[in-house]
Amino acid sequence: HVPIAKQYVEKAYALLKPGGYLFIELPRYHSFESRLFGSHWFHLDLPRHTFHFTPDGIQFLLQRAGFKDVSVRQVLAWEYAPWGIVASILTLFSLREEGRWVRRSLLFVLVLPILPVAGI
């Protein structure tokens, strides 16, 4: 949610003590969900998400800012994944703009089978 990611990463590098760590969490641009929903992918979230990074891209950005020993790990975040898929489906069918009852009923139908898997 930043206009110029490079400046924020450089500022973080300058603020960290030697040996400090920086953790960044971001949507996986080359994820299955992103490829499946394309321009309807919920996490495109334009205009708030102005940048989307691949693992190589974020690693390159961090190294250019001076970070050493950069480790990029991709993790399936269960607290986001089911809701992101549902939101992407709603966006795909343009139901995010419809009345609340349509969204809530579709959300219920789509999320109900996911709840046991999500541990809820």
Q: How would DSSP label each residue in 58-70?
A: HHHHHHHTT--S-
At residue 109, the pLDDT reads: 64
Confidence of residue 59 (pLDDT cuts 50, 70, 90): very high
Average pLDDT (47-59) is 85
- Is 90 exceeded by the pLDDT of residue 34? no
Contact present, 58 and 4 (Cβ < 8 Å)? no
Task: Specify the pTM.
Answer: 0.67
Higher-confidence residue of 10 and 52: namely 10
- Mean pLDDT along residues 92-119: 61
